[in-house]
Each structure stands twice: as structure tokens, then as C-alpha cells.
Amino acid sequence: MRPTLKMEKRLVTPRRVMLAVSILSIALALLAIAFVFIEYGVDPLYAYTEIFVGSFGSVYGLSETIVKAIPLILCGVGLTVAFKALVWNIGAEGQLLMGAIAATGIALYVFPDAPPIVVIPSMFATGFLSGALWGVIPAILKAKLRAYEVITTLMMNYIASNLVDYLVYGPWKGLKEWGFPYTDKFSPSASLPVLPPLIPGMSHRIHYPTLILALTLAVVIYVLVMKTKLGYEIRVTGENPDAAKYAGMSYFKTVLLAMLISGGAAGLAGVGEVAGVHYRLRYARGISPGYGFIAIIVAWLGRLNPLAIIPSSLLFGGLLVGGDAIQVSLGLPVAAIGIFNGVILFFVVGAELLTRYKITLEWGRGG
């Protein structure tokens, strides 16, 4: 008698199994990263406590976590649509930046003197369209010319980030910004309002119009993907493209729409960053510390469920805020926090086996 592992393919994965696997993979990732910290001479318990206290341990920390979660929700929700259609959009970062450029163009050059009721909706509309454009180009190249979208979307990230830098160092450089790669500041009517202080006297940066937009979009996309004909076509195209074609669905149309939504959502995130956080366009790394890439982990951790993107984004928003905190208190290099991204994603994708197979230990004759 000896124990054997029996693997059985699951036909459906219960929700609680998915949740348990997600939590398990984060726990294992934190354990693995603890060893990196020990190797680096940092007490992991101290580091984790600092991260938690910095991000969720105070009202201010929590408000900053929400500020960072806003672009993650928007990009992440968009990515669920593309990934469900099996289109590997790695370009949310560039799509976000294109949204930021568009909003800046509206705020500073198209409607510099118009009232908020005109400027703000125009910024969101053009931001969506610019992000969508940056997503639709790879979609057309994929559907018509079979160009691998991982590469096209990624290359367009680099092009977008260089475009931002070109603008802020060159033609859009602010007249009042002494030597800094910033545009001029947006007028108050192009700046998104923040919620009144949660505690009297303590200011925060939650730009609520974008937050409401992000939460609404999560619900709308959930309904779209789960309950509508387009959502059904997106899911079938992703799961079985041949069956989709056989059923008369247009591959071109589905891929195009999935990337339009995905890119557009990321574009909205870019509008939120320039109009709600910075009130200007800055160099690319200053606008986004990699929201578009972190959103890939957010989407995967949320198992491509648009509603699960919300808690998943809060977690990674907290990690960004807490990461800033330990960089200051422990003197770690800026990129160090990137280890969290890589290791968590390793465990999330590695543990997926547990959602696809039911693994049981059996006592019986081996072989």
C-alpha cells in the first residue's frame, strides 16, 4: 500500500475553490518573498508589517490605496474582456498613457477656458477613444494579418511612453515649469474634484468621479460578459475559436470590440491620473508606475471576473503604497517592489493547476 496522487480534470471549478487557490497563492508568494528579504538582510515580518500599516493601517494610507486602486480597476476590468477573448493585451500601460495625452490636449489646448461640464466629459470621451485606438491597432493587425499581439501591444507601450516624454520635454513643456519635464497645470475646471475630508482637517486624493466610473464599469463589464450576446461571443471566441467561426461569429468583430473596450478602459485610467492626481502631464514613469502591467496580475488573480478585479486592485494598490513606505524606511531600491509582482504572478499562475484539476491522495496499490 502506498499513497498516490490522483489527478482528475474538473469540468467546472466551484467559486470557493477559485477563492481558496487565490488566497493560497498569495500566502505562498509572501512566504517566498520573505526569503528574499532575509537574504537581503531585512526582517520580513517587519517589512510586511510596514507594508500593511502603510497601506491599510491608517485612514490616510487607506485613501492612498484607493487612489492607486482606481487605475488598476479600470485597466484590470478592461483586460478581463481582452483575455476572455484570448487576446493577450499587454498594452494597457500604453493605452493608459494615450488616454493621459488626450486628456491633457483637451485640458490645455482644446478647451482651456471652458466650464467643467464641457471639459471633464470631453476629457473622458477622448481619453477613452485614444486608449481604444491604441488597442484597436493591434487588434486589426492580429485579426487581419495574424501579427502576434503580445509584441504589437508591448511595442506600442514603448512608443506611447516615448511620445509622452517627447511632449513634456518638447512642444508641451510648461512655460511656468522651471526645467521640469511637466506641462503647465490644468485649470480648476479641468481638475477632477476630490471627496470632502474623511476626517476633519485631513486631506486626501480620492478623485471620486473616476472611482465611481471604475466601479460602474466593473459592474457593466460583468453584465456585458456574462449576460449579453457580445459577451457570449467573446467567451466562445476565447474558449474555442473554431466553434465560434462555425457558429457564424465574426472573429474580426469580436477581437476588435474586445480590444476597443480593453484599450478604452485603460485610457479612462490615464484621464483619471492626469486630471485627478497630477493635474498635469508628466514624464511617463511619473504618470504610471506600471499600472498597465500590474493590472495583468490583478486580472489574473481575479480569475478574469470583472467584479473580483475590485478587491484584487485594492490589494495591489495597497502593495504600491506599502512598497513606497518600505522603500523609504528600509532604503530599498525602487525596483525592489517589482519582485512582489513577479513572485505573486508565479504562484497565481502555478497554482492554477489546482483550479483545473481535482487532486486527491489515494491509498492503494501503486501503478
Partner 1 sequence: MGERRMSLEASVASLLHDAIRSGTPVLLGTLGEIYAERSGVLNLGVEGMMIMGAVTGFGVTLATGNVWLGILAGAIVGGLSALIHAFLSVTLRANQVVSGLALTMFGLGMSGLIGGVFVGLPLLTPLRPISIPILSDIPVLGPILFEHDLLVYLSIALVPLLWFTLFKTKVGINIRSVGESPATADALGVNVFRVRYLCVFLGGLLAGLGGAYLSVAYRPAWTEGMTAGKGWIVIALTIFAMWSPGRALVGSYLFGGVEALQFRLQPPPPHGLGISPNLLAMLPYALAMIVLLAGTRETIRKRMGAPSALGTPYVRGEK
Closest CA to 298 of 285, 311, 288, 289: 311
Q: Which stretch binds partner 1 (CB under 8 A): 44-52, 145-153, 223-231, 312-320?
A: 145-153
Does residue number 170 form part of the binding site for partner 1 (CB under 8 A)?
yes
Does residue number 316 form part of the binding site for partner 1 (CB under 8 A)?
no
**C-alpha grid cell for residue 100?**
493621459
Among 296, 309, 319, 326, binds partner 1 (CB under 8 A): 296
Does residue number 148 form part of the binding site for partner 1 (CB under 8 A)?
yes
Residues 114-143 as x/- pattern, contact with partner 1 by CB under 8 A: ---------------------------x--
Does residue number 26 form part of the binding site for partner 1 (CB under 8 A)?
no
* Least gap, CB of 346 to partner 1 (angstroms): 5
- Cα gap 69→291, rounded to integer Å: 9
Identify residue 331 by its one-letter amino acid code: G
Among 35, 46, 109, 169, binds partner 1 (CB under 8 A): 169
Among 155, 215, 307, 330, binds partner 1 (CB under 8 A): 155
Does residue number 361 form part of the binding site for partner 1 (CB under 8 A)?
no
Please state whether beta strands 357-364 and 2-9 pair in parallel, antiparallel, or not at all (unpaired): antiparallel
* Least gap, CB of 164 to partner 1 (angstroms): 9
Closest CA to 67 of 190, 194, 191, 222: 194
Buried b (16+ CB within 10 A) or exposed e, 23-60: eebbebbbeebbeebeeeebebeebbebbeebbbbeeb
- Cα gap 348→341, rounded to integer Å: 11
Among 18, 26, 28, 159, binds partner 1 (CB under 8 A): 159
**C-alpha grid cell for residue 123?**
476629457
Does residue number 342 form part of the binding site for partner 1 (CB under 8 A)?
yes
Does residue number 46 form part of the binding site for partner 1 (CB under 8 A)?
no
Closest CA to 320 of 68, 21, 53: 68
Binders in 216-255 for partner 1, by CB under 8 A: none
- Listed in sequence order, the residues at least 6 apart from 86 whose beta carbon sits closer than 8 Å to its beta carbon are 237, 238, 239, 241
Among 6, 27, 40, 109, binds partner 1 (CB under 8 A): 40
* Least gap, CB of 130 to partner 1 (angstroms): 17
Does residue number 336 form part of the binding site for partner 1 (CB under 8 A)?
yes
* Least gap, CB of 349 to partner 1 (angstroms): 4
- Listed in sequence order, the residues at least 6 apart from 245 whose beta carbon sits closer than 8 Å to its beta carbon are 251
Does residue number 350 form part of the binding site for partner 1 (CB under 8 A)?
yes
